[in-house]
Amino acid sequence: MGSLGADFVSPNDEKELEFDPSAFPPFKLSEIRSAIPKHCWVKNPWRSLSYVLRDVVVVSALLALALFLDNWKFWPVYWVLQGTMFWAFFVLGHDCGHGSFSDSAFLNSVVGHILHSFILVPYHGWRISHKTHHQNHGNVEADESWVPMSEKLYKNLDFATKFFRFKIPFPLLAYPIYLISRSPGKKGSHFSPFSDLFQPHERKYVVISTLCWSIMVAILYYLNSVIGSLHLLKIYGVPYMVFVMWLDFVTYLHHHGYEQKLPWYRGKEWNYLRGGLTTIDRDYGIFNNIHHDIGTHVIHHLFPQIPHYHLVEAVFFCSIFFHIIHLFCLFVKWFVYIFIYLFLYFCYRQKLQSQFLGDITGNQKSRD
**CA nearest neighbour of 281 among 267, 305, 262:** 262
- 240 within some domain: yes
Per-residue pLDDT of the chain (368 residues; tens, 9 = 90+): 333 333 444 444 444 445 566 678 878 899 889 989 999 999 999 999 999 999 999 999 999 999 999 999 999 999 999 999 999 999 999 999 999 999 999 999 999 999 999 999 999 999 999 999 999 998 888 888 777 777 777 778 777 777 776 776 666 778 998 899 877 767 889 999 999 899 999 999 999 999 999 999 999 999 999 999 999 999 999 999 999 999 988 988 888 776 667 788 888 889 999 888 888 888 888 999 999 999 999 899 999 999 999 999 998 888 766 554 544 443 444 443 444 444 444 444 444 443 444 444 444 444 34
What number of other Cβ atoms are within 10 A of residue 171's Cβ? 16
Distance between CA atoms of residues 121 and 206, nearest Å: 12
Per the structure, the count of domains in the chain is 1
pLDDT number for residue 24: 80
Distance between CA atoms of residues 10 and 322, nearest Å: 11
Instruction: Return the amino acid letter for 252.
Output: Y
**CA nearest neighbour of 307 among 136, 91, 121:** 91
- The residue range of the domain holding 87 is 2-356
Would you call 265 helix, strand, or coil by DSSP?
A: strand
- 98 within some domain: yes
111 within 8 A of 101, measured Cβ to Cβ: yes
- 367 within some domain: no
Distance between CA atoms of residues 6 and 326, nearest Å: 8
DSSP codes of every residue in 286-297? THHHHTTTTT-H
- 365 within some domain: no
CB-based contacts of 99, cutoff 8 Å, min separation 6: 105, 108, 304, 305
Phi-psi region of 99 (alpha: psi -120 to 50; beta: other; left: phi over 0): left
pLDDT number for residue 267: 87
What number of other Cβ atoms are within 10 A of residue 5's Cβ? 24
Cis peptide before 169 (omega within 30 of 0): yes
Q: How many residues does the chain have?
A: 368
Alpha helix positions (H), the chain: 2-5, 11-17, 29-35, 45-69, 75-98, 105-118, 123-135, 151-156, 159-166, 175-181, 203-227, 229-232, 238-255, 272-276, 287-290, 297-302, 308-317, 322-325, 335-351, 353-356
- 76 within some domain: yes
Distance between CA atoms of residues 314 and 41, nearest Å: 9
pLDDT number for residue 12: 44
Q: Cα torsion for 226, 218, 177, 281, to the nearest 10°?
A: 90
pLDDT number for residue 260: 64
- 161 within some domain: yes
Distance between CA atoms of residues 335 and 286, nearest Å: 9
- 368 within some domain: no
pTM above 0.85, yes or no: no
For residue range 229-259, what is the model confidence (pLDDT) as tens digits?
999 999 999 999 999 999 988 988 888 776 6
**CA nearest neighbour of 294 among 262, 250, 245, 342:** 250
- 363 within some domain: no
The DSSP symbol for 101 reads S
**CA nearest neighbour of 126 among 52, 213, 49:** 213
258: Cα within 13 Å, side-chain hemisphere: 10
pLDDT number for residue 163: 73
Distance between CA atoms of residues 263 and 327, nearest Å: 13
Backbone angles phi, psi at 361, to 5 degrees: -125, 140
